[in-house]
Structure 1
């Protein structure tokens, strides 16, 4: 009997006005899966969004699957006739027209009322309304002290506006809405953004498989992989990647770095994003003309590229080097000042965000990437497919993979002078040399064409469908077994962690990862432990972490020992010991080894007393 095809649902936080790389990659993936016969749809979680308006904008996007649905989670909540078995405490909804309350409308109906901290954007209460005016959800953010942020209560109301359920966070409401929307049908849920992924790793249902697609750097900006601090905004999610049924990275290097930092997992796979159809290249390009597609933010470091163009024009004035930058963002004003200060008003232009901006690659001779980090570098791949030759800083992740065909165009991170010389050298080279480079990048870009990646996405979804229904832990809140003893031995070269657990003889050995976590300096590191049986109902888990893996060594004075006990959906991450001084050498021992000896001695005494009686 063939496996039924699951619904493929991409859960997004919102759809930005100017669709960027992550949203574009999610749309392209869904389009590829739709071509393979899967039913693809989108759920948007952010409030204050109009589903019809989002659909109208997305329908014009070249990668949007024809006939796909966009559903807003708050519309699911509003349209469901919720029932509750027990009454819950009632929060007063915000009255219409009250002072300090903002209203948001769709089609003439009030759908959201919001109360903020005075003269602030901090929300104190947000009520979600149905089209008929009844209250669907009362979301309080000031339950500890009314009028002061702190404490949350999310109250779900039935279609009569009366409360039926209440929670202390928003995630259970999201889960209830998804349960209602998906029912018992098999489904594969994709979570692309870090916001929705934090919910996705907690949503576990037997008929639903979850996939997190990593689009960006998982490390703190400026830190070098693989063993560095996690990005604070992504740390909660990265620490518990094992909760997803699959994790997809864009490059093999990022997959390996994640494995080195938070333990290897067979659920992590690599599928790069697919690029769109290349624009038809112009027969003649201006040799010195460059085009860049990027958001105008600090991470992109476009000021580096502007300074590189200025130097390149001095090195090769005959090449007439120019640059058009397509994009929008907060750094626009500072970039204009940079252009003016460099005297490049006629040579470098900020063109703003254009939906068809990538067509400029067909006219340009070169492009540049000067970001602090990338998830892949999709704009570079798009440029390559149009025969536009890239120059890029060697940063994680993507440039090294994309420029294997032209390694000389990979520039040391931050070396503006080297970047300028490479641009000048290319622009002033002979046309046959430039044409050879263009042919090389076009060939390399073939690996990222949709036809090459469509089947890989289809296989991933089909594999997950074949595993449904999935086993769900009986209690997601049940803690993992705590170590009966924990021994740490620190030397100049390594940290040895050894834990013992009570474990029935007849049960199979569990999977255990052991490691350390700390805030100052920030670190997160764990690795699979060697697990073996001990006499009696005990097992031992041991892991040795080499200090040289971290540039500054293991120097945290207030670290914690962390474990991941078990495998798959039933695995749990636990802090098992706190206050460890990693900077000092020596050994530490905690646990109940001494207690066990005391208990045995007490038993012997009691047994001897019984015998005398």
Structure 2
């Protein structure tokens, strides 16, 4: 996020503000540290709502008492309060009788005046329930009041933009839950997906969502645009939730200094940069490099840069394998370009990624990447055998053999691969990626500016059936009524959503329009594959038709119509052939009785 902001400012010539909503942080110290590290440069500023609130009141008129709800500053009540230090302001707090339930926090300016009173017992004094946040001027008098923190956040964003055209890129899943509610004609809001949306991709696009995916994927529709790092992930997302036209593939970028192909590079040195946590599976890399040296009799070392909870366990593994002279944990580095520039190859053994930015950093330094074939990232960047290597996921033996094979290449062939790696990294340099962002943001803003017509949708028929492979097919007919000539100006798009009842999780399929009449009646076919039906098999699921036309989207529940009963039963014979038989037992042959005389 910091790098993208710098690239926007440098390549696009537009100032970028990084907006934060949290409290209790020392932002002057954060700015100082980021500036010293070169991560906060000219054109990029860091702005926090809690720093701004104290001056936000300005010369606003004082609110009359009848418009206020629950404004009782702590300094005026005589109620016992607790003083709190830290954060951008001083604070006093009031607790319930249990001593632990926080009921009110008053925020003070440096001169001791009240600038915000946050009360949480508006409904019944002394009991948690009902909120009011009251902004005060320099005299401590109320000038604005909100009933929730999100209302306050939206007011701050309105203050910052002042009605001018603005672009927001949301990098945090928690902020996404709020920013999906910020809908303004002049504000274009993009969601940036940094991680894989799947916990594991073993079942393809229908695999279970990850923790972050469960938060953001159901909310994609609420954003003007969603940026996905790789084409493969974007295709899987569209296969899961349909394509409503707001998904854009935009990779991460890096400023790529030209690196010498060989220079002072150690020809046997490998490097791995990652957080030391289970997801990164660094133990795979340790065992593979051990195998290279012991079984394959090829000299290789591995420097592991990063910090995390797995440090002690990984160090124990290194000692147990007896490779402490070959494999070393080196802690965090602020100079990844230098580390890659001194190394011959890099390893990526993660179980999940969304892009693999570390691969790009490695390639830009001429350090040849060797990566597991995972969702998502490596195969979108690396061409196997040309500028790096892709190894079967989880196959440590194949990983070791790939490292040994690379180290055994002639020097000229290694140099060719390093040059190819650097060339590939240039595709992800700042200028072309900023251009992708410019196109996506411009298109989203232009689409947002199109007036949405009034649209009514009446579903007139629903026909359903299942296929032998377990897929579900729905045939839906709907009559559209739109204002003026909207149906002539654009072709409506139809999607069918299967939502798990009681949740926000869903699968959605785009419809194939099979016909339409001059009266505005459209027929569409939707197919949900067997993988989707298997993923939904344990839940109650509700079906909805979504109709889109010129920026307007209408949701309609699908009416149920029982299939016309068939007089025949379709069944499989003992030989596996298709046959038909009556649903009702065949009548017994008529018989007659004769009496002999």
**TM-score strictly above 0.5:** yes
8 Å CA contact 1:230–1:524 kept in 2: the answer is no
Query: 5 Å matches for 1:326-345?
Result: 326-345=305-324
Q: CA deviation at 1:398?
A: 1.0
Per the alignment, residue 579 of structure 2 pairs with none
Match of 2:592 in 1: none
- What's 1:398 paired with? 377
Stretch moving more, 511-520 or 138-147 = 138-147
Change over 3 Å in CA distance of 1:550–1:527 after alignment to 2: closer
Tell me how far apart the structure 1 counterparts of residues 27 and 458 of structure 2 sit (CA, whole Å). Answer: 47
Deviation per CA, 1:330-362, whole angstroms, max 9, x where unpaired? 222222222223223222222222222332000
The answer to whether the aligner puts 1:103 opposite 2:77 as a matched pair is no
Q: What is the alpha-carbon distance in structure 1 between the residues aligned to residue 225 and residue 20 of structure 2?
A: 21
Shift of residue 325, structure 1, vs aligned partner: 1.5
Measured at CA, do residues 429 and 113 of structure 1 come closer, stay the same or move farther in structure 2, by a change above 3 Å? farther
The aligned residue for residue 359 of structure 2 is 380
User: Residue in 1 aligned with 2:346?
Assistant: 367
Specify which of 230, 233, 243 is matched with residue 222 of structure 2: 243
CA distance in 2: counterparts of 1:297 and 1:117, whole angstroms: 42
More moved, 390-399 vs 97-106: 97-106
What is the match of residue 285 of structure 1? 265
Partner of 2:509: 527
Match status 1:517 vs 2:499: yes
Residues 29 and 274, structure 1, Cα contact 8 Å, conserved in 2 = no
* Larger radius of gyration between Structure 1 and Structure 2: 2
Go from structure 1 to structure 2 and tell me whether the alpha carbon gap of 1:206 and 1:62 turns closer, same or farther (over 3 Å shift).
Answer: same
Selected match of 2:22 from 46, 69, 85: 46
Residues 1:78 and 2:57 are matched in the alignment? no
Length, aligned pairs only: 548
- Looking at structure 2, the residues matched to 562 and 95 of structure 1 have their Cα atoms a distance apart, in angstroms, of 54
* Structure-2 separation of matches of 1:378 and 1:98: 54
Contiguous gaps of at least 5 residues in structure 2: 565-597
Q: Supply the distance in 1 between the matched residues of 2:472 and 2:122 (Cα, whole angstroms).
A: 44
Is the contact between residue 502 and residue 539 of structure 1 (CA under 8 Å) also seen in structure 2? yes
- Tell me which of 541, 566, 584 is aligned to 2:548: 566
Distance 1:29 1:255, change over 3 A: farther
For residue 300 of structure 1, report the CA deviation from its aligned partner. Answer: 1.3
User: Hey, what's the Cα distance between the residues in 2 that align with 1:362 and 1:115?
Assistant: 57
1:140 and 2:116 matched: no
1:211 partnered with 2:193: no
- The alignment partner of 1:233 has SS state of helix
In the TM superposition, residue 156 of structure 1 has moved relative to its aligned partner by: 3.2
Deviations 1:5-46 (A, max 9, x none): xxxxxxxxxxxxxxxxxx34xx33442344322122211122
Counterpart position of 1:11: none
Would the aligned equivalents of 2:81 and 2:92 in 1 still touch at CA under 8 Å? no
Task: Return closer, same or farther for 1:349/1:548 CA change in 2, 3 Å cut-off.
Answer: same
Query: 1:316 is paired with a residue of what secondary structure?
Result: coil
Worse-superposed segment, 397-406 or 565-574: 565-574
The reply to whether residue 312 of structure 1 matches residue 322 of structure 2 is no
| Cα distance per residue 1:394-437 (max 9 Å; x no partner) | 11111001112537721111111111111122224332332232
Is the contact made by 1:275 and 1:450 (CA closer than 8 Å) also made in structure 2? yes
Report matched runs for 1:259-274 at 5 Å. 259-274=238-253
- Does the CA contact (< 8 Å) of 1:292 and 1:367 recur in 2? yes
| Counterpart-to-counterpart distance in 2, 1:55 and 1:171 | 25
1:418 counterpart residue number: 398
Residue 146 (structure 2) pairs with residue 166 (structure 1): yes
Structure 1: gaps (5+ residues) = 1-22, 581-585, 590-613
3-state SS of paired residue (2:84): strand
- Contact conserved, 2:453 with 2:482, CA < 8 A, in 1? no
Query: Contact 1:31/1:63 (CA < 8 Å) preserved in 2?
Result: no
Conserved? CA contact 1:387–1:439, under 8 Å:
yes
Q: Which secondary structure does the structure 1 equivalent of 2:370 belong to?
A: strand
* TM superposition shift of 1:114: 9.1
Aligned partner of residue 157 in structure 1, secondary structure: strand
Distance 1:92 1:311 in 2: 70
Aligned ranges for residues 485-500 of structure 1 at < 5 Å? 488-493=464-469, 494-499=471-476
The separation in 2 between residues aligned to 1:48 and 1:484, in whole angstroms, is: 56
- The structure-2 alpha-carbon separation of the partners of 1:520 and 1:138, relative to structure 1 and needing over 3 Å to count, comes to closer
Partner secondary structure for residue 105 of structure 1: coil
For 1:4, the equivalent position in structure 2 comes to none
What TM-score does the superposition give when structure 2 sets the normalisation length? 0.79
2:325 alignment counterpart: 346
Distance 1:328 1:388 in 2: 22
After superposition, the Cα gap between the structure-2 partners of 1:471 and 1:323, relative to the gap in structure 1 and judged at 3 Å, is: farther
1:156 alignment partner, SS class:
strand
Q: CA RMSD in A?
A: 4.0
Moved more, 187-196 or 536-545: 536-545
Q: 1:248, CA displacement in angstroms?
A: 1.8
Structure 2 CA distance for aligned equivalents of residues 351 and 568 of structure 1: 55
Alignment of 1:85-96 (within 5 A): 87-90=67-70
Q: Which residue of 1 aligns with 2:131?
A: 153
- Which of residues 431, 455, 459 in structure 1 aligns to 2:411? 431
Q: Give the SS at the match of 1:239.
A: helix
What's the CA shift for 1:78? Answer: 2.9
Query: How does the TM-score come out when normalised to structure 1?
Result: 0.77
Equivalent position of 1:18 in the other structure:
none
Tell me, in whole angstroms, the C-alpha distance in 1 between the residues paired with 2:563 and 2:71.
51
* Residue 1 of structure 2 corresponds to residue 28 of structure 1: no
> CA contact under 8 A between 1:114 and 1:125: conserved in structure 2?
yes
1:298 CA drift (Å): 1.9
